[in-house]
Amino acid sequence: MNKKISLLALLPAMLLTNASAEPTKCLTSYVNPFVGTGAVDGGSLAGNTFPGATCPFGMVQLSPDVEDFSVHHEGYEYGRDQIFGFSHTHQSGVGASDLQDILLMPSCQPLEKMPESADQRSTFSHEQESAAPGYYEVMLSSHGIHAELTATPRTGMHRYTFPAGRENNLLLDLVHGGVIHSYWQPGQNTALLDAEIKFTDPSTLVGYKISTGWERLRKVYFCIQFSRPVVDWYLWREYVPGSWWMRSKNVYHQAPVVHGKWVKGYFQFRETGEPLIIKVGLSTVSIEGAARNLRAENPSWDFDAVRASADERWNHELSRIDIEGSDEQKRVFYTQMYHAFIQPNLFSDVDGQFTGPDHVVRKMPQGEDYFTTFSLWDTFRSAHPFYTLVQPTRNAAFVRSLLTYYDIYGYLPMISYWGTDIYCMTGNHSIPIIVDAALKGLPGVSREKAFEAVKATSMREHESSPFADIDRYGYIPFETQAFSVASTLEIAYNDACVASLAEALGRDEDAAYFRHRAGNYRNLFDPETRFFRAKDRSGNFMEPFDPFAYGPNGDPYIEGNAWQYRFFVPHDMEGLASLMGGPRELEARLDSLFEVSPDPSTPQSMQSSGRIGQYAHGNEPVHNYISLYAYTNHPEKIRQYAHQVMLTQYLDTPAGYSGNEDCGQMSSWFLLSSLGLHPVDPASGQFALGYPLYRKATLHLENGRTFTITSNGKEKWKVLLNGRKLDSRFITYQDIMAGGVLEFR
């Protein structure tokens, strides 16, 4: 794949618009946004990333969509050759398709034919497509239109250069969106509940879209400004009273407004020979909020200046770590860093207003932003520990957003998309993220407030709450809840986190209660097979038992099997080793994880990707297992397996991930491991020592200090911290934040 393509067929002036002065440290040149957009080995697995324009942790992700109702999770799949348009919201690397709102598509098709044609797509080729942080461009071959995209945090910007003498037309599609595809709702379209397009002047459109999907009630408001006035237009509404055969379609010529369930607009601009530039502001609050965001962040029509500003933002974030290595190593490293900094997403307007999880408009304190898109089941493992090192101020803002959610709703979200909890996955991993931030003293994170939130969430009464069973049985019986083993183990870990914060606050009674519950993992351990197994209410193990088997999403496990949940006791490795028969047996079981393969006839699921034996790196349950060798007699195996994964499953290609990137988790695992660090317990403040990939890496810490990691690549090594031998197999967060030099030599 050639990322730096040539558009030789374009006018020289067009090429000049792409040239901008590079900053002194141009780390964005190492980023390949196409990594993760393609399938692995021609199959269905991909990183599910998108190549479009976005700013670090921004509200807008402006990217091409390759299907009308996109079943590709983030709208784009590298193997496709047709584009339906460019929408403004996308998730990064998750296994569910949603968002993809406010789609624009330029066209040279005659205006009067556009409402009658359901097909506005265009073919394209990768030879005439390129992407960089904050920028995307493509030649729409069917129309001969050169499309360019860039973004500010809350706005998107388009530049369309039409062929000379052809019509300059545009589709605005509010019907377009992702397709929910899950084990519970297969193939269900995101439903559009209400929408509106309205002119406020010949160059400005405003409106909204209200839909339901993964997020039950999602509102997107927009303000669109054109560099040229609209000279003719049609507004289109399709009314769907219940079934597709009962649809009625209404097309309105030059109407000032259209309102309904399925709404589109078709617009014509006078052909001037100049590019058509479009600015789009978004808000979750109101049309006025979208317009205010647009005025504040993108008041001019200088596309190249906005693009340069986005590039500068990304360079600033990527400059938090410098590495010395080959160009290929830098491309992989900084692409991972780029993906780690796409989400969580900004959710509040420039004035601090946002729509809360109760759908009430609220306002953050002066200078505070509110964030959403927390894929917590994934990101608690590596992403948030990584943020505490290189993005502590932002991670503190993420945690304060979660605590604000708690203040509004009474408990913390399991996974938060577009501001509300979608009740997905197992456990509640807001808890370790908040406890970790509180124990590390991140700015503005009150320990008392954090404890109130994590305790209330762990004890909350709810009709689907597993906690009554936890207290009654000491585990979750498989008759009462799916994923019973995964839930029991993950809740035990969450309880250990609550206990740690209670101990730090001197709350002895709470600490004792949650520390006791943290030991519930023992209740599902089978001493005969030495696996964690599901039990019924009477304490009998579920039969038959096949440790290789995946049920519906791995039931009683989730996105894994018994092998991949065998070691999930990050808070009590000594206790797990004791159950296994001691440290030697723990090591032997870890070895078997990487060595044992199932019978070829055993059905496998998509969650078993990235396989080394039964270690399946393409999904998250195993992500701290390599670091468990720090508790054995052979910690050097961390290097062996971590390097194997990094060098074979993180590539500078569209198929560069072995599974979903998952909002920064897959990339953060690589970033930490490539520095020779990774937590076993993400809330412990400790990082197990592996072995770095690079000769030298320097972390530029927010406190003004630097922490440098060096290695000489030898097979045998000792570790020095600031010139003194480090006897521990771990290094603490405090050690790193104090600055200094960590040497592997």
pLDDT of residue 555: 85
Structural domain includes residue 58 = yes
Q: Distance (Å, rounded) from C-alpha 445 to C-alpha 461?
A: 26
pLDDT of residue 240: 56
Q: Distance (Å, rounded) from C-alpha 338 to C-alpha 667?
A: 9
Quote the number of domains for the chain. 2
pLDDT of residue 44: 55
Structural domain includes residue 4 = no
Q: Is 684 in the same domain as 564? A: yes
Most confident stretch, 20-34, 79-93, 166-180: 79-93
pLDDT of residue 549: 86
Structural domain includes residue 685 = yes
Residue 242 — pLDDT band, cuts 50, 70, 90?
Answer: low
40 has a pLDDT exceeding 80? no
Q: What residue ranges in 145-217 does DSSP mark as E strands? A: 145-151, 155-161, 168-173, 177-180, 188-189, 191-201, 204-212
- Per residue, the 3-state secondary structure of 469-523, as one string, reads HHHHHCCCCCCCCCCHHHHHHHHHHHHHHHHHHHHHCCCHHHHHHHHHHHHHHHH
289 has a pLDDT exceeding 80? yes
Structural domain includes residue 106 = yes
- CB contact at 8 A, 254 and 268: no
What number is the average pLDDT over the span 255-276? 94
615 has a pLDDT exceeding 90? yes
Q: Is 124 in the same domain as 250? A: yes
Lowest mean pLDDT among 244-248, 257-261, 493-497: 244-248
Q: Which residue has the higher pLDDT, 78 or 243?
A: 78
Chosen domain end from 283, 318, 353? 318
Structural domain includes residue 43 = yes
Q: Is 172 in the same domain as 306? A: yes
What number is the average pLDDT over the span 447-464? 85
Q: Is 61 in the same domain as 187? A: yes
What number is the average pLDDT over the span 244-262? 80
Q: Is 377 in the same domain as 480? A: yes
**147 bridge partner residues:** 138, 160
Lowest mean pLDDT among 86-90, 147-151, 262-266, 551-555: 551-555
- What CATH number should be reported for the domain holding residue 604? 1.20.1610.10
Q: Is 275 in the same domain as 384? A: no
Structural domain includes residue 343 = no
pLDDT of residue 250: 86
What number is the average pLDDT over the span 604-619? 81
pLDDT of residue 17: 32
Chosen domain end from 318, 336, 365? 318
User: pLDDT tens digits for 317-356?
Assistant: 999 999 999 999 999 999 999 999 999 999 999 999 999 9
Q: Is 153 in the same domain as 226? A: yes
Structural domain includes residue 1 = no
Helix axes 383-390, 665-674, angle to 10 degrees: 60
Residue 428: exposed, middle, or buried by beta-carbon count in 10 A (0-12, 13-18, 19+)?
Answer: buried
Lowest mean pLDDT among 2-11, 41-50, 62-71, 218-227: 2-11
Q: Distance (Å, rounded) from C-alpha 430 to C-alpha 419?
A: 14
- DSSP letter, residue 700: E
Q: Is 53 in the same domain as 187? A: yes
pLDDT of residue 633: 93
What's the whole-number average pLDDT of the chain?
Answer: 90
Structural domain includes residue 329 = no
Residue 417 — pLDDT band, cuts 50, 70, 90?
Answer: confident
Q: Is 121 in the same domain as 235? A: yes
Q: Is 254 in the same domain as 399? A: no
Residue 460 — pLDDT band, cuts 50, 70, 90?
Answer: confident
Residue 102 — pLDDT band, cuts 50, 70, 90?
Answer: very high
What number is the average pLDDT over the span 278-283? 98
User: What is the percentage of the chain residues whose pLDDT exceeds 70?
Assistant: 89
Lowest mean pLDDT among 195-199, 435-439, 488-492, 549-553: 549-553
- What CATH number should be reported for the domain holding residue 243? 2.70.98.10
Q: Which residue has the higher pLDDT, 554 or 391?
A: 391
pLDDT of residue 181: 40
User: What is the percentage of the chain residues whose pLDDT exceeds 90?
Assistant: 77
Lowest mean pLDDT among 179-193, 502-516, 725-739: 179-193
pLDDT of residue 332: 98
Sequence-separated (6 or more) residues with CB below 8 Å from residue 584:
632, 633
Q: Is 308 in the same domain as 377? A: no
25 has a pLDDT exceeding 80? no
User: pLDDT tens digits for 693-727?
Assistant: 999 999 999 999 999 999 988 777 899 999 999 99
* Domain around 554: 373-744
Chosen domain end from 275, 293, 318? 318
pLDDT of residue 600: 66
Residue 422 — pLDDT band, cuts 50, 70, 90?
Answer: confident
Lowest mean pLDDT among 66-80, 446-460, 539-553: 66-80
pLDDT of residue 461: 57
Q: Distance (Å, rounded) from C-alpha 700 to C-alpha 715?
A: 28
Q: Is 103 in the same domain as 194? A: yes
**What does pTM read for this prediction?**
0.94
661 has a pLDDT exceeding 70? yes
- CB contact at 8 A, 530 and 589: yes
